[in-house]
Amino acid sequence: MTLVAYTREVSPTLADCELTHLEREPLDVARAAAEHHAYEELLSQLGATVRRLPAAPALPDAVFVEDTAVVLDEIAVITRPGAVSRRPETPSVASALAAHRPLAQIEGPATLDGGDVLVVGRRLYVGLSTRSSHTAIEQLATVLRPFDYEIVAVDFSGCLHLKSCVTQVGESLLLLNPAWIDPSVFAGNRTIEVDPTEPHAGNALALGGAVIHAQHFPRTRARLEAEGLRVRPIALTELVKAEAGVTCCSLLVHGT
């Protein structure tokens, strides 16, 4: 199996990004770009072939490529981001993914961000958020019906995207913040709860036998390591000011 990780360089306008749950504060774009480069290097170390999408200097949030598509083994679904300013990000992503998968498209007025979609086996948990709508979930269910996926709509609170509060870190193993999402939604899976002092620590990326996790959450990292997981911490001090996590900066495509 091969793994391609699509990324996009940090825009010089990143400080003008969309914000929903965080107050805007000074953001060092050069440092954010350095953090992103280190992230790409780590993806490579863990076995991914990193391919950069075309630069989009006028689109502040374009580095967060996860939100533009949902990539499955059989198909890639191009999203319609909930923030109007982000919709110009999708055509270049569609062009890249067309080399790997048949494409489908979420149609307006429905909206869907990829960060609201958590894939666990043949089940897709889709968060109902300010960025993702009921009608988009219905469209997604229709598109995926031929492939026998189950779609589960999920309520959560306290953060931008579903994957801000829950991600998969191992086989049937989820990392989550129980204050923001009800763990019973994920019955049949084991869960690791974030440390209560680190509410934003639920976002992690399992890749290449390791788990990428923001280094400023040491207490939650200890919980992951106590489960026998190999954690690769990474600095995100500037990117998190734009509501970033480790999953949102790449779009992973598995192939042969």
CA atoms of 217 and 200, how far apart (whole Å): 8
Is residue 161 annotated as part of the catalytic site, yes or no?
yes
CA atoms of 224 and 192, how far apart (whole Å): 7
Of the residues 36, 161, 200, 213, only one is catalytic, namely: 161
3-class secondary structure, 50: strand
Buried b or exposed e, range 213-248, using 16+ CB within 10 angstroms: bbebbeebbebbeeeebebbbbebebbbbbbbbbbb
Is residue 248 annotated as part of the catalytic site, yes or no?
yes
End-to-end CA separation in angstroms for the chain: 5
* Spatial contact of 39 and 6, defined as CB atoms under 8 Å apart: no
Backbone angles phi, psi at 11, to 5 degrees: -75, 145
* Spatial contact of 95 and 79, defined as CB atoms under 8 Å apart: no
CA atoms of 117 and 12, how far apart (whole Å): 28
Question: Do you find a cis peptide bond into 233, omega within 30 degrees of 0?
Answer: no
CA atoms of 223 and 234, how far apart (whole Å): 17
Of the residues 17, 159, 165, 248, only one is catalytic, namely: 248
- Positions annotated as catalytic residues are 161, 248
